[in-house]
Chains A and B, each alone.
Chain A
Amino acid sequence: MVSLQNVTKRYGAFKAIQSISLNIKPGEIHGIIGASGAGKSTLLRMMNLLEKPDEGDVIINNKKINHLKGKEIRNIRQSLGMIFQGFHLVGNKTVFDNVAVPLEIAKIAKKNRTERVMESLRFVGLEAYKDKYPRQLSGGQKQRVAIARAIVNNPSVLLCDEPTSSLDPTTTMEILEVLKQINQQLNVTIIIVSHEMEVIRSLSERVTVMEDGQIYEVVEIEPTGVNKSTKGAATFVEQLKSGGDSNPS
């Protein structure tokens, strides 16, 4: 469904991503973890071409998309939802209008929008907040609105870029629960980037561990003990395999 083949991304002389290949299985929750600067957000942003690879291919639903332009790219992006650490809601729009924007962009008839927006808001538990503005909401509620906005167009894939990094632990768990429900009830493939081990481990079935713009290892999760003796990406791998929850030293 989502596949990266030998993708490389350079910023000047710096190689942010070095010839990475990765296949995301349809319907899975796939975590991407690594230290700051490992290239995990860049990798995620390549999947909807917010970052275009300098080499290699991005394949969505068996279609190479990295050579597409204009309207074709926009159509692909409309089928991929995305949420961010900073929520990025439009402050001058109500919750309802924020969630309705992707439908307006996709030129869905106005009469069909209301029902779909309310359905999305109901899913994230914010139906009663439809007339509020983002400034009247807590961080967790804002992220729920962003999630409702991301799923309103019935995407096949939801890209999550550090979605809980600015939230407290309780709110984080609530957001992760919403993401799980989206995966299970709406059958949406979820790809989540985070530097938080607990987030990745509690949500993901497979995890790509990154270091220096490369894949260090792809891990199937089996929660057990903790080994804190290793460093860097190795620590992430050890913790994922053992079920530990501390960050790498």
Chain B
Amino acid sequence: MIPILPKVLVEYQSEIWESIVESSIMVGFSVLAALLVGLPIGTFLFLCRKGQLLENRLVFSSLNLLVNIIRSFPFLLLVIFMIPFTRFVMGTAIGTAAATLPMMVIAIAHYSRLVEQSLLDVPKGVIQAAVSMGASVKDIIFKFLYVESRSALVLSMTTSTISFISYSTIMGVVGGGGIGDFAIRYGYLQYRTDLMVYIIIIIVIFVQIIQYSGITLARKIDKR
């Protein structure tokens, strides 16, 4: 495989691999945070909406506002704004691990909104039927809502992951590294335009693979 690669990629291959690992860490932890925290928050947002099972105007409004505020932040400003908090939690505001924290915060807000919107597509009648069967809220979430919206949830995660890759490219500002930062530092700042173009092509290939995998999986599990 190596002989067919452009010379410049071979020259920088160890740095490129290192930056791919850094990006994978940032995006991987963001996906994890989105699943473990964003999914429950999005579900809770949905359940607290008017007319839903746990309708609660105060909780919904507060949570809704918080998610909106985080999503409204230009990401670069969010990263900078969070530096004191990142330093408090991680012990440092510099490096890949520290850069992962703001990524996780935006990931949670981003995915929770998409989860809420995916659940809104579940027919109300299905929820009504579940209630009439004596289902608890937990039953309704796991036996009805997630089952019925699973392909939408997968597509939402696909969209989110691609956004996380995009967010990760600017994490160089706090020394987070990553493939985007590599393209800027080695490609743009050192006038190696060819290197930058190749890195962009690598990112595009990654995004295509994720998009294709997400759509294929969503289609496979959609039986409606």
Q: Footprint of B on A, CB under 8 Å? A: 48, 50, 71, 73-78, 80, 82, 84, 86-94, 101-102, 104-106, 133-135, 146, 149, 153, 159
A146: nearest chain-B partner, CB-CB: B129
Are the C-beta atoms of A90 and B126 separated by less than 8 Å?
yes
The range of chain B's interface size is 20 to 34
With both chains docked as a complex, state the minimum distance between the C-beta of A56 and any C-beta of chain B, in angstroms.
21
Write 23 A-B pairs (CB below 8 A) sorted by A numbering. A48-B132, A50-B131, A74-B134, A74-B136, A75-B134, A76-B134, A77-B134, A78-B133, A87-B125, A91-B224, A92-B147, A92-B150, A92-B151, A92-B224, A93-B223, A101-B130, A101-B135, A104-B143, A105-B136, A106-B134, A133-B224, A153-B133, A159-B132
CA gap between A167 and B224 in the complex, in Å: 20
Are the C-beta atoms of A77 and B223 separated by less than 8 Å?
no
Is B139 in the interface zone, CB < 8 Å from A? yes
CA gap between A153 and B133 in the complex, in Å: 9
Are the C-beta atoms of B129 and A84 separated by less than 8 Å?
yes
With both chains docked as a complex, state the minimum distance between the C-beta of A104 and any C-beta of chain B, in angstroms.
6
Q: B143 is contacted by which of A75, A101, A134, A135 (Cβ under 8 Å)? A: A101
CA gap between A80 and B131 in the complex, in Å: 11
Instruction: Decide yes or no: A88 and B134 within 8 Å by CB, A104-B143, A105-B139 being known contacts.
Output: no
Is B204 in the interface zone, CB < 8 Å from A? no
CA gap between A134 and B132 in the complex, in Å: 20
With both chains docked as a complex, state the minimum distance between the C-beta of B129 and any C-beta of chain A, in angstroms.
4
Q: Report the 10 A-B pairs with minimum CB-CB distance, sorted nearest first.
A: A91-B224, A77-B134, A88-B129, A78-B134, A74-B134, A88-B125, A82-B132, A133-B223, A102-B133, A86-B125
